[in-house]
């Protein structure tokens, strides 16, 4: 669960590197992905419901319109979840990725699938690096 939040993602990555030498990295990635999913669900629900008006206002700002307008709408439908997935898989704070996913009309099922897969891939990568260092 620590892997998700901005202040604790670096210590969580260090813990994963240490765990890599002692644990099965496949099982650890699945368990870590499940914990990160629970934390991400909290962030996703909070951003989607509490900051709905602010996200809509942000989407209408000039700088956002300048960046978003040249990209076709059909491409944007796939680009935003892909970019958010990259942020979720990386040790960067997941709050940014959750905010991006909250702007897209995404069902809870699709959110869970995207989030869990991205977290498992990111955690497995960190565990594999930790295993290679030993």
Q: What is the pLDDT of residues 44-67, one digit of tens each?
A: 888 878 877 887 787 778 887 787
H or E element in which residue 47 lies: helix 25-50
pLDDT at 30: 94
* Those residues with Cβ within 8 angstroms of residue 92's Cβ, 6 or more apart along the chain or in another chain: 9
At residue 94, the 3 state secondary structure works out as helix
pLDDT in tens, 3-25: 788 788 888 888 888 888 888 99
At 81-132, the pLDDT tens digits run 888 889 888 888 888 888 888 777 788 898 899 899 999 999 999 999 999 9
pLDDT of residue 70: 79
In the DSSP assignment, the letter for residue 51 is S
Phi then psi dihedrals of residue 21, to 5 deg: -80, -15
What pTM was estimated for this model as a whole? 0.83
């Amino acid at each position: 669960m620590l892997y998700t939040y901005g202040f604790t993602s670096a210590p969580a990555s260090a813990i994963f590197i240490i765990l890599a030498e002692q644990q099965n990295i496949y099982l650890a990635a699945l368990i870590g992905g499940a914990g990160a999913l629970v934390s991400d669900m909290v962030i996703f629900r909070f951003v989607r419901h509490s900051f709905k008006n602010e996200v809509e206002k942000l989407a209408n700002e000039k700088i956002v319109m300048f960046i978003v307008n040249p990209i076709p709408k059909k491409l944007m439908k796939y680009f935003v979840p892909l970019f958010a997935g990259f942020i979720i898989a990386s040790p960067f704070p997941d709050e940014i990725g959750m905010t991006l996913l909250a702007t897209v009309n995404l069902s809870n099922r699709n959110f869970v699938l995207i989030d869990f897969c991205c977290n498992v891939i990111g955690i497995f990568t960190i565990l594999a690096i930790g295993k290679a260092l030993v």
